[in-house]
Every structure is written in structure tokens, then in C-alpha cells.
Chains A and B, each alone.
Chain A
Amino acid sequence: MIEIKDLHKSYRMGSNSLHVLKGINFSVEDGELVAIMGSSGSGKSTLLNILGMLDVADSGSYHLDGVPIKDLSETKAAQYRNKFLGFIFQSFNLINYKNAIENVALPLYYQRIGRKERQEKALKYLERVGLKQWATHLPSELSGGQKQRVAIARAMAAEPKVLLADEPTGALDSTTSYEVMDLIQKINDEGNTILVVTHEEDIAHMCKRIVHLKDGVIVEDKMVEQVRAAQYVQ
């Protein structure tokens, strides 16, 4: 599903240049649930953003589902993001003047799906994350956990190939974090490929594979026994 080879990325700041990713080789199969760990500043977000086509690498190759991701125009990148990827952010990134269902329907709108079908689909995904009754509420009327669930529904709505989550539980307390992880596990159970960046060991162990990043390279890549989040919920 994801295939990257010798990926490099540095940030230039004035005359200095900060080499963040120093040759990442990494592949993810269909249906995997991967945790990306590492200390702060190790380049986790940078990697995820490159995978999400929000940023571009300096060198190296990236294939997504066999499609080479290289030299994309902004329009093409937007199209690919819409079709292939779903984003889940630490700070939820819901649009505050749109209610839950409108937020979820947004990626479908960019696919030019008709209004009615959009509403139906968005409602279906809200139901999946258990927020059907909250469909017409604005983000400001939702709790952190609920917001993140709306964001997950939104990421799922366009039925992307890969879900990318950058510290999805970073802003949530542990109970709510487990609820969100429970949801992510369930989505993964249905065969969706998911990458989760996290700081927290317990969250990482709820994935099936942990990749450790240090100083811009992968220092450890191991399969783990998945801890089900469901047992901590309720």
C-alpha cells in the first residue's frame, strides 16, 4: 500500500539547514495498523505529512497503492488527498462554523457527490462513530472525544485507502483516548490501513506494528501483540 525508499527531508532556515529525515525506508501492507513513535522533534509529523502529500520530500521515492507520488501539481495533490487519504489531527481541525454532519460531508463535496447522497453517507459515518444524534451540533457544542470521532468520521467518509492520524489522542484524557483507539481498531478490523503517530506506549501497543524513529532514521520496526482498547472502555 505504502512504499517509500530512501526518503530525505531537510528544512532550511536562513543559512542553516535542519536534516530531519535521513533516509527512511519503509513499507506498509494493506490492512496494517502502524504506530510511529519517537521523541519530540524526531520527524514523525514530517514523515506523516509527506505521506499525506501535504509536504514534499527532498529526495527518495514514494508509491501509494502503486501510484508514484512525485512532482504533483497542487490541484493533482488535492485530488489524490481526497481520493486516497483521510487525515486525523491532534487538534481535530473541524471547521467551527459547520455542524458535525457538514464537516463529515466536506470531503464528499470535493468529490462532487450530490447533496442528498452526501448527507446520507455523512450520516452513515456519524452513526458508525456513534454520533448520529449530534449531527446538527456545532463543534463548539461537542466534547474533545466527540470532536475527534467526528474528525474520524470525516476521514472515513471519502473511503480513502489510508488513514493518517497525527497524535489523535494527544489532546484527550486516557478514557477518551481508549474510546478513540477502540474506534480506530474497529475501523482497522474492517481492513482499512491506518498509520498512527503517538508518544504514548499504551496507545502504540494498541496497534499491530510499532516503528521507532530517532534522529531521522528508523531504529526499530517490530510487530506487536495488539492490546484491544475495548477492555478499557465503559
Chain B
Amino acid sequence: MFNRDRWKEILEVLTSNWFRTLLTAFGVFWGIFILIILLAAGKGLENGIRVDFGDIATNTMFMWTRRTTKPYEGLPKDRRFEFKRSDVQSIRDNVPNLRFISPRNQLGGFSGGGNNVIRGLNAGAYNVYGDYPEIINQDPMTVTSGRFINYNDIEQNRKVAVIGLGVKNELYDKGEEVLGTYIKIQGVNFMVVGTYKKNSSDGGEEAQKEIFVPFTAFSQAFNMGEVVGWMAITANDGHSISVLKDDIINLMKSNHKVHPEDTRAIGFFDLYQQYNRVESLFAGIRWIAIIVGTFVLISGIIGVSNIMLIVVKERTKEIGIRRALGESPWSIKKQILMESIFLTLISGMTGIIFGALAIYGINTLLDSVGPVDMFLNPSVSVKVVAGALSVLVIAGLLAGFLPANSAIRVRPIEALRTE
């Protein structure tokens, strides 16, 4: 099927009228080009927004306690209760497919109030968190100097702290050494071992004004005992936190003797659900790109089909001669189909290449002007390219179908008679 003579013939036919071939090719080229660019732009928007969500964080929920609203097992309603460290182990033992379970405690923020951190003459009001090392995966941040909290800190109750750049700017002079210095959090000295910066664009300035200390040291320093203020829980890839959420909350209800139907006793925030809303927006954008691209592509295919029809008409006599010499109708059909596929594929691949170059150009430009809001690294996947190529082959087949049939519909004797 793919012998040298066929290829030679395809090239001979397509190069016999360069201008027309190029004009035809342009239709398909343009369709694929538009498709690639639109998909890449959609992806760029998606990447840009996804960064704001952080990456693993999207499969994360936060959970805290409130007052009960129903009496249960002899306990009154309006009862306060608190998560305990044992709850963390209990979740770990009973709910599978969870990746991180981070118990957290917090000073400032919700509890509000004035300055809680002092360094020398400087003071400020910051959110202070007692955390496990995993929190950096759930609440993504970049450590800009020193290090983050580690398990040695946890096990040895070390009073160390990682501070945000906002905290550093307020408590330290410009150029002053930060690592190894001490800050006083509600009267307790913590040594600064690292600084961080959050890339998250929501949260703004406040997100840079946080202090992270080991969970254990926090509990000890601020007399939290076994209490866990709230938890950040992330599910494994391939499992949705929205699904696992019910198991976790039910487990907590039974641990704390909360009425199973008390929906308000445990508060939660499911990032995944929020994220899904945005996801469906992305899917919408993808569909628009595909539909627009497909329409442009279809017009390209019609162009190819049209030109092939004209070519076939022009070659009627030649086809008559070939048939007189004994070429089978199927062989003629195959020849025309292959010409059509070849033309479509070549112009489509050129479209893909130019699309890729354009994307590369845009990326270079983006790199040089710095990050743009809600737009990052536009790209198309190999899967999309492979898909586009197979669509092209099918498109070429469709485009060649009509002309190929018309080529063999004329009887050889009539074909020979045409001038």
C-alpha cells in the first residue's frame, strides 16, 4: 500500500499545481492551528488559576468543632467539645486513602486581639500556628531561607518558628540576620529557623504574616494539653476528599458522642468542592476550543474535498487511460484517498508545528515579562496532538471519499472520451 510508486504519484499530483495545493492546505492548517492555540490558551488559564489553589491542596478539607445542636445519650445540646490528639490517630486507623492528616492549633486570627509577638522594640499581631511538617503540602509555601518545621522539632518539643516575609519585614530591620534570632510569642521565646513566602495570590498580605511552630511545642507553651483546634485532611490521589469527608465526620461524631444527625456540630470547608466548580469552567473552555477548532477544521476539510473533486475532474481522462491499461477501481480510489489523507495530514502537522511554535513564543514572552495574573504556561498535551493527528487522518479519509467515488463512477469509455 505504501510503496514508492504510490508516493511518487501522490507527490507528482500535489506538486503539479503548487498554488492550489498550498491554498487548500491552508484551510486545514488554519483549523488545526486555531484548535491548538485555543486549547493552549484554555490550558494557560487553567494553569494560572490552578496555581492559586496550590496543587495537592485541591483535594483537602478543613474541619473544626462547634456547639452541638441536638441532645444525645444524656448529653445536652449547646455543648462545647474539642478534637483531641487521639482523634488524629483514630482517623488514621479507621478511614483509609488519606494522604495527610494535620492537626493544627492557632493563636491570633479567629481568637483576634492585639499584638501577640514581640521582638525587642518591635511588636505585631500575627496568626501563629502549631503544625506538623506535612502542612507545607496542604498550605503550599516556599521556604525562602533556613528550613521548615521537621519531625525532630516535633519529637523534641523544640521551640522553633518559621516566619512569613511579612513578619520579617515588620519585626526586623532591612538586611538584619533573621535565622537564629528569637521572637517572643505570648511571652514564650521561639528561635526563628526559617522564612517563607506564599505564592498564593488569594490571602494577599495576610498570608505572608503567619508564624509556624511545631505542634508539640505550641501545645506545651500555650497549655493546649491534648486539644486539637482544627484539622487539615488531604485524600490520596485518585480519591476524593468530598467522598471521604462523610466517613471522617461520622467518626468524629461517634468519638465525641454527637447525635448522628447533628449536621452543625462539626464545621468543615471542602476545597475540592470549590475546586470542582472551577474545574467545570475549565471543561467548558476546553469544549469551546474544541468546537470552534472543529468548525474551522471542517471548513478546511470541505476545502480539501472540493479541490480533490476538481483534481479528479481534471484527471478524468488520465483515470480512463489507467483503467484501460488495467488499473482496478479500488486502486484508483485508494490513490485518491491517500492523496487526500496526505494533503490533510501534512497541512495539519504544519498547523500543529506552527501552533507549537506560537505557544513557545508566548511562553518565552511570558517568561520575559514576568508572571501574568491568571495565565501560566499555555500548552497542549501529547495526547491532544495525537488526537488531532488521528482526527486528521479520518478527516482526510472523509475529504477524499466523495472525490474517490466520483473518480470511479465514470465508466472508462466515457472517461477516455473526455478532452
**Chain A interface (Cβ < 8 Å from any Cβ of B):** 49, 52, 54-55, 74-75, 78-79, 81-83, 87, 89, 93-95, 97-98, 106-107, 109-111, 115, 154, 158
Contact = CB atoms under 8 A, between A and B. Distances in A.
B413 A158 contact: no
A115 B326 contact: no
A78 B326 contact: yes
Contacts of A79: 326, 328
Given A97-B12, A106-B325, 5 more contacts: A52-B324, A78-B327, A83-B326, A87-B324, A110-B327
Contacts of B411: 54-55
B4 A78 contact: no
Interface in B204-250: none
Contacts of A93: 317, 321, 324, 416
Contacts of B5: 109, 115
Contacts of A111: 326
Contacts of A158: 325-326
A106 B324 CA distance: 11
B326 A75 contact: no
Contacts of A54: 324, 411-413, 416
Interface of B: 4-5, 12, 16, 317-318, 321-331, 408, 411-413, 416
Nearest to B13: A97
Contacts of B321: 93-95
Nearest to A82: B326
B318 A95 contact: yes
Q: Which 6 A-B pairs have the closest CB atoms?
A: A82-B326, A54-B413, A110-B326, A55-B413, A107-B325, A78-B328
A174 B330 CA distance: 41
B413 to A, nearest CB: 4
A129 B100 CA distance: 88
A106 B329 contact: no
Contacts of A52: 324
A56 B411 CA distance: 11
A230 B108 CA distance: 118
B405 to A, nearest CB: 13
B315 to A, nearest CB: 9
Contact of A75 (B318, B322, B325, B328): B328
Contact of B16 (A82, A87, A97): A97
A78 B324 CA distance: 7
Contacts of B4: 115
Given A54-B416, A55-B413, A109-B5, A154 B325 contact: yes
A89 B4 CA distance: 29
Nearest to B330: A75
Given A115-B4, A115-B5, A107 B328 contact: no
B3 to A, nearest CB: 8
Contacts of B328: 74-75, 78-79, 110
B5 to A, nearest CB: 6
26 contacts: A54-B324, A74-B328, A74-B408, A75-B328, A75-B329, A75-B330, A78-B323, A78-B326, A78-B327, A78-B328, A78-B329, A82-B326, A83-B326, A87-B324, A87-B325, A93-B317, A94-B321, A95-B322, A106-B322, A107-B326, A110-B322, A110-B326, A110-B331, A115-B4, A115-B5, A154-B325
Contact of A81 (B12, B317, B325, B329): B325
Nearest to A151: B321
A155 to B, nearest CB: 9
A49 B324 CA distance: 10
Contacts of A98: 12
Contacts of A83: 326
Contacts of B331: 110
A49 B413 contact: yes
Contacts of A94: 321
Most chain A CB within 10 A, of B318, B321, B326, B329, is at B326
B318 to A, nearest CB: 6
Contacts of A49: 413
Nearest to A109: B5
A82 B324 CA distance: 8
Contacts of B318: 95
B414 to A, nearest CB: 9
A87 B324 CA distance: 7
A154 B322 CA distance: 12
A10 B327 CA distance: 27
B72 to A, nearest CB: 84
A199 to B, nearest CB: 18
A49 B413 CA distance: 8
A36 to B, nearest CB: 17
A42 to B, nearest CB: 18
Nearest to A73: B329
A74 B411 CA distance: 9
A150 B388 CA distance: 46
Nearest to B327: A110
Contacts of A115: 4-5
Nearest to B326: A82
A52 B321 CA distance: 13
B197 to A, nearest CB: 68
Nearest to B415: A54
Contacts of A95: 318, 321-322
Contacts of B16: 97
A74 B329 contact: yes
A149 to B, nearest CB: 17
Contacts of A109: 5
B20 to A, nearest CB: 15
A138 to B, nearest CB: 12
Contacts of B323: 78, 81
Contact of B324 (A74, A75, A81, A97): A81
A106 B321 CA distance: 10
